[in-house]
Each structure stands twice: as C-alpha cells, then as structure tokens.
Structure 1
Amino acid sequence: MKADRRTLLGLGAGAVAIGGGGFAATLGGTEALPPGGLGGTDLARGHRLRDGGFPAPSRFEDVDVVIAGGGIAGLSAGWRLQDAGFTRFRVLELEDEAGGNARGGRNPVSAYPLGAHYLPVPNREAKAVRHLLRQLGVITGDRDGVPVYDPEQLCADLQERLFWQGRWQEGLVPRTGLSAQDRADLAAFEQTMSAYSRRTGSDGKPAFAVPRAYSSQDADLLALDRLDFVAWLDRQGWRSPVLRAHVRYAMRDDYGTEPQHVSAWAGVHYFAGRRGWTVDGAGDNELTWPEGNARLVRGLAGFCRDRIATGHIVHAVRRDGEGVQIDSFDVAANATTRIRARAAILAMPHFVAARICPAAVGGAGAFSYAPWLVANVTVDRLPGGRGVPLAWDNVSSTSDSLGYVVATHQTPDAFPMATVLTWYLPLSDMPPSAARRLLLQRTADTWKQIVRDDLLAMNPDLEGAIRSIELWRWGHAMIRPTPGFLDRGEAVRPAPPLFLAHSDLSGLSLFEEAQYQGVRAAEGAMAFLHHPHESLL
C-alpha cells in the first residue's frame, strides 16, 4: 500500500490461487499468449557461487576498500565514500547491471521497474536520504528549513484506485458494503496506528522511525517483536474480516509475507513509521518515476561509475593480517582476481555473505527471503473500467496479486494510449523454499496466462490490447521481518576491517534501510582508516 498506508483497505477473499499449481486449473483465457521473455537474477552465476570450483587467482591488485555487491546498499556505500572525498575503492557486482531489486527495464513505449518502484517522501530523521535527493535535484530547496520537492517527481493524481464491488473507486479505502463491526474495528485500528505514529518514546525518539535505527527502544515497543502481527490483532479483539484482509494486503505489499509470519513490530511500523517531512502537504506522497527506483540507482551509480565492475562474482573473503583478501571471478575474462584491501564492505544478502566469508559472518539460517513474480505488460490502450479513471496504483479487492502500477503515469503526454503496466505477485501463501521451486518449475506460458487473466479480471476492456508480457522472477526479493528480527542484524556484525551493509541487517527491505546500512558501513570503514568525514547518520 502506498499513500494510504495509514488509512484502511478492505479486501475480499483473493481470487488468485498461486500455490501448488491450483491456479492453472481455474484459468479461462483461450486467446494466444502474447510474446515476452522470462528473466530474473542470473541463476547460473548464483549456482556457481554456491557450488564453487573457481580457478586460482591469476591477477593481483591492491585497493583500500572493496565493496562486494552493487545493490542499493553497496551503491550507497560507494556514494558515501565518494561524497567524503575517499576515492580509493571498487564496487564488485555479480550481475551485469548494478541496482539489486531496484533495477529497471525499457521498451519502445516506456521505461519500467523490475522491482522497487517508489520512494515515500522521507521522514525528518532520514538525513542521508535527503542529502542524496538534494544532490539528484529531487529536493529543490527549503522553506523555513523544511525541504521542498520537485513536483514533477511526486506521484501525480490520480494516485490510487481500488476495484471494489464491481467498480473502481478513488483511494484504497472502501466506502460501501461494510458492516458495523468492520467500521468499528477499522476505526479502532486506525486510531491506534495514529497514536503510535505520534508517540515519542521515553528516550526522545519516535516510536517508529525510518530508518528503523532511529526508533525508540522503549521496552513495550520492543516487546512487539516477540509476537506475530495476527497474534497482536487477536489480543486487541479486532476480528473484522475486512480489517484482516487489509492487514494481509499491507504485509504482502511491503514485506512479501503473510501477516502471521510478520513481527508485530514490523506490522505496526508499516502503518506508523511514515511521517514524510515537506512544506507542501505532500508528506503522504511518493517519489516515483517510469523506471521506478532504477532512477535512484542511476543517480547513485553516477557518483562512482568508473569504480563499479559488473560481472564479477566475489566468492571468497578472508582476513589477511591487518587487511582483507578478496577473490572475485571476472565472468567475461574467465579469470579470478585476488585483491588485497585495507577494508571490505560485504553489501549483499546475508546468506551470500555467510557463504563467502563463513569465518566472520554467521547466522544465515535466521534470515528468510520472500519470492516474487513481477510482470511488465505492454498494452496499446490505457485501462479503463467503471468508476473513477486510471490511477498510478491500481488494486483489485478480488485478486491475490497486488495489482499494477502505470509506468507512464508521470509522463502522460509521451504515449497518450500505449503504456506499460507493472504487475506484482508475492508468492507468500507457501513456504519460501516451495515458492522458489514454483517460480522455477512453472513455464513462462503458465505465468503469462496467470498475469493476463488476472489483468483481464480487473480490466476486461484490455481484451485484445495486451501486446507483450515480460516476466521477472525474484527468488530472494526481500528479507522477511519475522518475529525476533530486530536483534538479528546486530548479532551478525563482524569486527573491522570487515563491514556488512544490506537491508537484511535492518530486517526491512526499504530503500532508506539499504541506504542507511551502506552509509553506516562506509563511515565505519572511513573511521577505521582514519579518513576525516562528518557523519550523515
């Protein structure tokens, strides 16, 4: 859920059955499937990293700092080093393109996201995010010390619509068909979330903050992490099926996880943690672009592009005297390079870091990851439907998908008819390992049929207008904030000269968290190497 995260969405029972192959038996579409590929992270490289067998080093280099991993955390670490005048570093990325789950694609109609597609207007405490946004021209100035955002990069109206009771309505809060109990539980829930959002802890910190490191450490708040979100709802006595369906949508939207597997702390944080700080009344708005957060990837990479090497599989990291030894396999050159560094930042998912540096990084079994399917669907006319017109974010109350966003929403004059719809499905109703197997086992045609039929159920007016469906599989799309997650990241941090940087350490797969961890690691490395800098944290 996006701008309405502190208001309430009632969703009916989902119509998409993603588990165990049951969906295919319910599909009714008979027309020929549109063209389109099946992409995702490079499985061959990932399996090679898992299986080993790399050649012995034939090249040798010396670098002050190596950043292993070029997702948002790794790019943020590089950006922070560069911004502080520290230039003796390299970023090594396994894929052929940096950006992690914030990458994007492009076709003749539009750029589009492959994963993360927006950044909420940052909270007051998110100083490093605002520093970056000023450099990128997203924040254009200040008024009485409060940031002013470029209106062209804030999500334009209509921001959201919900397919509810056979019609599209504005916003994600249903206005009809609610029982008295539904209304009472929804109101009580919203009042409680608003109180959490306004609360300041006894330590002077917001109860729930973004990045989460700035959140209060009050004992009653931390105790929420020992419960799952459904158990917490049970304790409040809120049993409205509309509220429960709303909570399920929200948890799958940000965490790719069913609410009974989400820490109650993370569940409350979703609704109470955002307080966008801006003068123009857009605090609940988002920053978004046709390519989604790939715009931020491009901006981060632009600060240190000549120091980023893609197609490099870092497969061994070990301490070497007072420094670090890093072995990486150059896919194009078919050769291993051994780098001697004064410090190393492992900016990768924790299960990968634990594999390549087992002596210093442990606890991989405590982390689990949500699998997703993303589809970018090119259509030659804009979706319509009964009720309000097309919005940026379009959600159906009768689907287990999360609906679709419109890539050209911010540039409506570029292609007045054709557009790309980015459709999202977290495979959350089964164990993650089973969902990953399903992602691999199902054919592209089966997935295309699922995507097509789900879109046509929302928008029958798109019949005959779908021109292509490009699929993207994320086996480990994001960390799952299961109960007990608050302590996991701190429990696995090695000592310098090794540093970890990834949103896994926060337990929340958000841009702000990945950036915070990257900046934290970069500033830790600079302090270790006695490079002068003023902290952004």
Structure 2
Amino acid sequence: MKADRRAVLGLGAAAVAAGGGGLAYALGHAPLPAGTLGGADMARGHRLRDGNFPAPSREEQVDLVIAGGGVAGLSAGWRLRDAGYDQFQLLELEDHVGGNARSGRNAVSAYPLGAHYLPVANREAKALQHLLRQLGMITSDTDGVPVYDPEQLCADLQERIFWQGRWQEGLIPRTGITTQDRADLTAFETTMAGYSKRVGSDGKPAFAVPMAYSSRDADLTALDTLSFAAWLDQNGWRSPVLRAHVRYAMRDDYGTEPGEVSAWAGIHYFASRRGWAAGNSGDNELTWPEGNGRLITCIAGFFPDRIAAGRIVHRVAREGDRVLVDSFDTAANATVRTRARAAILAMPHFVAARVCDDVGGAKDFSYAPWLVANVTVDRLPRGRGVPLAWDNVSSTSESLGYVVATHQGPDAIRTGSVLTWYLPLSTMTPAAARRLLVARPADEWKRIVRDDLLAMHPELDGAIARIDLWRWGHAMARPTPGFLWRGEALQPEPPLFLAHSDLSGLSLFEEAHYHGVRAAEAAMTLFGHDHESLL
C-alpha cells in the first residue's frame, strides 16, 4: 500500500531520479489553473549562508535584541511586554513575521501557509493559558477549569478519511478491516492511554506539552534510543491499517517517516494531549480560516512598535559583557550594528550556529521540507459517506489531504472555498527533497496537487480556480532517535539565549511559545527586572 500511495504522486525513488513522472501526470491534461509560487525567502536565506555583507554603516543601542520573528521570537516579545519590559527590538529576516505559522488571503478566504491549528492547552501549559486568556480565547473558568470560546474551537465534522471508496468519520478506518487490524488497533490505543495517564517517579506526566514538563524516568527516556517503527515491531503490531495511521501521524506533526522518528516522539504524539477544559472541549482544537496566522497577528499586535522586518541578522558576538548584533537592512541596503545587553536567538539552530560562534551542535539537527498548496475552488467537495469535514485525508494518497479554510465562522456558508493541501517530502533524504522542491517546475507541482484532489473528488473537475504553492525547505526539526532534550545542552552562557521549537525537537506552537517565554524571563532575570514566572 505504501508503494501504491507513492506512485499516485510520482514521489518514489525512481520518480525522483527521473525528475518526475508516475500516475500523477496521467489523470488529465486540461489547462492548469493560475497560481503563485511562494515560500520562505530563499534569496535572503542563501545570502545569509554565503555571507559577504557590507561593514556596519550605522549603530543602534537597545537592552535586548530578539533575532527571529517566528512563534518563539514573538512569544518572547509578548512575554517582555506583558511583564512591562519595553527595551527590546525584534529583528526578522522576512518582510512578515510568523515563520511557518504565516497565512495568506485571497478574495474567497484567508488561509494558512503552514500550521493551521492549536490543540486545547494542557494543564501544565500555564504560560499558553495566560496568552489565550489575554486573547479572549479562554473566556472564564468553571471550578478552576478553563472555559474556551466555542467560536474558536473546531466545528463538527472535524475529521474524515477516504477509505474503500467512501468517506468515514475519524482518521482510522473502522469498517472493512481484519480481526488482526482490530486487535492491533485496540492494543495500541490501550497502550497509548496508559502512557497518557502515567505519572513518573519524579511526579511529572510521562509525556507533557510543553515537553520540558515530561518525566525523565529511565524507561521513558530509553524510548529515544530506537525508532517508532522499531518500537512497533517490538510490540508485534504489524497491522497495515495501524501502520498507515501511524505513518500519517508522524508525517503530519514531524514531516518524517516512522522509521526515522524517535519512539519517544512517536508516543508523545499520541499520549501527550490532555486538553484541560470545561465540558467536552479538551480533545478539540482552536482553528481559524488563516490557521495559526490568527495567533501570530494577535501576538505581534502586542508590540508592533518593537518589530523591524527585512533585517537579516548575520553576526552575533560578545563584546565584554555586552552583545553586538549585525543585521543587514534590506530596504536601506546597509548593515546596522546593534549594541545590546543581551540577545535572544529565536531562529532555527542551524542558522543560530552560523551567525554566532557561541552556538554549536548544528550537525545534530535535520529539517523536514514541505509543499503546501492553497487551492481555491468554486464549489465545495462532496463524496460518498459522511459530509465534508475540516480535515480530510485519503488512504490512497501520499499527501496528507486538505483542510477547509471556510469550515467555520461566517465564511462557512459560502459555496466556494480554499482547500489547504499538505505534502511532506518524507520519502527521501531532506537534502534530496529540498533539491526536488526547488527543481521541479511550478506547473508540475500544480499538476500533482490538482490530480491528487481529483482522485479524491472527481466532482471538482472544472471547479479548481487557483493553486497557490508555498515551499518550506526547512519547515520543522525532525525528532530522530537521540533528539531528546538535546537543546538543553546547547544553551550558551548569558547574555546569549536560544529560543526556538527545534530546541525541543518538536515543531509545535506550544514548544516555540515555551522557549520564547523561557528566554524572555531569563533575560529579565539577568537585567534584574521584577516579574513573576509563568513557567
């Protein structure tokens, strides 16, 4: 089945070697719809890699520089402003902040360019709950338990899977499966439930979000020495239905195949979510048409006066007890030197190691490439079985399916919509996948996207108005075996602080938010600024 799914999109090893091909190109030859090709600014990224920036031509001074405007950097800025500390500046390479939580918009709807939801927060995620209260997403408490605004929670139907010619609710097929499939699914779910309820000998949950609150019992940390696929083998669970679902999950959150994911990270996916909410909201997600772009806009709105976009930070160095931060201002075509008391490097680790000699360990990280397509349709998809859901996955596709941007809110009544389609390039090495992501022409990617959707929904023939592509060459850190708490050993000495989700090895909003808050509070402690920790 795995090989068949690869053939649908022409993404197997032979297809890569040939530069394309496979069934994806045989489903139709109608003119391709219009659309744009976007992504992280490769020109600026490659300039940072290659160096050769001019010498500084002007200087600035500020107490604290935050280098990087993804979720971690923005969360650091939010925490500083929340604590009444304003002497900071955030420098962002791109023209827009947000990292892989950015969003776009067209005449039909807003839509995500990457991350598209936030699960209801765990009890241990206190800093995140504080933010969600400020944003009005947690509206009150009932007996000390958060109450979420129902308008922010994913509406029904949440998920469905295309299985044996029909759409079924949920992401695991429950009909047309064998007795052994049922036995393995039951055993797996029972084991995950046990891990979810377990409290370690150190009094911490076995698996927590943020992961810093997880137990460090030896038998749990030992799970990081083998792959998730090997752990499934050890348990004798070989059901193709279970394996397909596990593969979907690992590619969905980590962009990585189960054979390359740490068993600890694999179990964390299934056992760490214990949403703390009143009523029946604990297993729901917060989502919006623009995905996590909603959160980015809200967080940046707390301190717009402290954000400087289009600034390529290319050198961070100590000068006595101070820090020098050199950044290239793309609008002014000049390098600016900022003298600061401290700096938070809120950037992927491989970038931080490039710009700052105090940061090492870059070779310990690898990053998953993704293609995201926002497909504008004149009419909503249908299909046999349960009706259209927010998240729609096909068991016969190598893609992760699509989410419907207009699933909820006032736009839900529209006949047309934007379908955000996801493909992690996980069947090859990340380096090879990045080369393919760049080398394959936009029209070939659009053909792949179109044909994959038409394989699920023949009724969309003639209804696809646009396909807007977005490439992520380094979308997320891959939690390969040995990743666990790797980031803790890489923290430099103050006044330098690291803050990014890849320090956790899990590219989750909660992890990025935690590291941003942690770094901001450490900087305030260094400065002697009075604050009460949220962590």
Pick the TM interval, shorter chain: over 0.9
- Stretch deviating more after TM superposition (413-422 or 287-296): 413-422
Which residue type is aligned with residue 62 of structure 2?
Answer: V
Distance in 1 (CA, whole Å) between partners of 2:95 and 2:128 is: 26
| Alignment correspondent of 2:52 | 53
Q: Write the distance in 2 (CA, Å) between the matches of 1:237 and 1:337.
A: 59
Summarize the Cα distance change of 1:235–1:54 in structure 2 as closer, same or farther, 3 Å threshold.
same
SS in 2 for 1:303: coil
Residue identity matched to 2:477: I
Q: 1:413: Cα distance to partner?
A: 4.7
Q: Note if 1:273 corresponds to 2:266.
A: no
C-alpha distance in structure 2 between counterparts of 1:208 and 1:127, whole Å: 16
- Per the alignment, residue 439 of structure 1 pairs with 437
C-alpha displacement at 1:177, in angstroms? 1.6
- The percent of aligned pairs where both chains have the same amino acid is 75
Mark the CA change 1:361 to 1:217 in structure 2 (over 3 Å): closer, same or farther.
Answer: same
Q: For 1:443 and 1:419, locate their aligned partners in 2 and report how far apart those are by CA, in whole Å.
A: 25
Structure 2 residues not aligned, in runs of 5+? none
| Partner residue, 2:207 | 208
1:332 aligns with 2:325: no
Amino acid at match of 2:237: W
Partner of 2:262: 263
Alignment of 1:327-366 (within 5 A): 327-358=326-357, 360-366=358-364
The residue type paired with residue 518 of structure 1 is: G
Partner of 1:450: 448
**Aligned equivalent of 1:190:** 189
Q: Partners of 1:252 and 1:13 in 2: how far apart?
A: 17
Residue matched to 1:402:
400
Matches of 1:488 and 1:521 in 2, distance apart?
Answer: 17
Q: Would you say 1:18 and 2:4 are equivalent positions? A: no
Choose 172-181 or 501-510, whichever is displaced more: 172-181
What is aligned with 1:3? Answer: none
Task: Report the alpha carbon displacement of residue 180 of structure 1 after superposing the two structures with TM.
Answer: 1.2
Q: 2:313 matched to which residue of 1?
A: 314
What's the CA shift for 1:17?
A: 3.5
- Deviations 1:50-77 (CA, angstroms, capped at 9, x unpaired): 1111111111111000000000000000
Change (3 A) 1:467 1:493: same
What is the distance in 1 between the residues matched to 2:485 and 2:280?
Answer: 35
Residues 15-73 of structure 1: CA deviation (Å, up to 9, x unaligned): 33324057533222110000001100111101110111111111111100000000000
1:169 aligns with 2:162: no
Does residue 68 of the first structure (1) align with residue 67 of the second (2)? yes
Q: Deviations over 1:161-185 (max 9, x none)?
A: 1101001111112121211111111
Q: Aligned AA for 1:25?
A: G
- State the alpha-carbon separation in 2 of the partners of residues 371 and 408 from structure 1: 26
The answer to whether the 8 A contact 2:10-2:22 is kept is no
Q: How many angstroms does 1:415 deviate by?
A: 5.0
- 1:474 match: secondary structure: strand
Query: Which deviates more from structure 2 when the two are superposed, residues 170-179 or residues 219-228?
Result: 170-179
The TM-score with structure 1 as length reference comes to: 0.97
CA contact (8 A) 1:12 1:397 kept: no
- Equivalences, count: 527
- Cα distance in 2, alignment partners of residues 342 and 180 from structure 1: 64
Corresponding residue of 1:151: 150
Match of 2:366 among 368, 384, 390: 368
Deviation at 1:243, TM superposition (A): 1.2
Which letter does structure 1 place at the counterpart of 2:534?
L
CA contact (8 A) 2:485 2:504 kept: no
Q: Deviations over 1:304-352 (max 9, x none)?
A: 1110000000000000110100000000000111010000000000000
Task: Report SS of the residue matched to 1:224.
Answer: helix
Given that 2:109 and 2:411 are in contact with CA atoms closer than 8 Å, whether structure 1 keeps it comes out as no
Q: How does 1:424-435 map to 2 (within 5 A)?
A: 424-435=422-433
Which residue number in structure 1 is paired with residue 300 of structure 2? 301
Aligned to 2:495: 497
Residues 426 and 47 from structure 1, CA distance in 2 versus in 1: closer, same or farther, beyond 3 angstroms? Answer: same
> Structure 1 stretches of 5 or more lacking a match?
1-9
Distance 2:46 2:31 in 1: 34
Give the corresponding residue for 1:4: none
Matching residue's letter, 1:32:
P
Change in CA separation of 1:351 and 1:365 when aligned onto 2, cut-off 3 Å:
same
**Mapping of residues 111-130 of structure 1, within 5 Å:** 111-130=110-129
Q: Give the Cα separation in 2 of the matches to 1:13 and 1:222.
A: 35
Name the SS for the 2:472 alignment partner. strand
Give the partner amino acid of 1:379: V
User: Deviation above 3 Å: which 4+ runs of structure 1?
Assistant: 10-13, 412-415
Q: Does 1:160 align with 2:159?
A: yes
d(CA) in 2 for partners of 1:12, 1:335: 51
User: What TM-score results when the alignment is normalised by the length of structure 2?
Assistant: 0.97
Q: Which amino acid aligns with 2:95?
A: D
Q: Which residue identity does 1:219 align to in structure 2?
A: A
8 Å Cα contact 1:11-1:242 kept in structure 2: no
SS at match of 2:52: coil
What is the rounded CA distance, in whole Å, between the counterparts of 2:4 and 2:286 in structure 1? 31
Aligned mates of 1:75, 1:155 — CA distance in 2: 24
Change in Cα spacing, 1:338 to 1:452, as seen in structure 2 (3 Å) is same
CA shift, 1:481, in A, is: 0.2
In 1, distance between residues paired with 2:332 and 2:291? 32
Cα distance in 1, alignment partners of residues 509 and 425 from structure 2: 21
**Aligned 8 A contact 2:9 2:22 in 1:** no
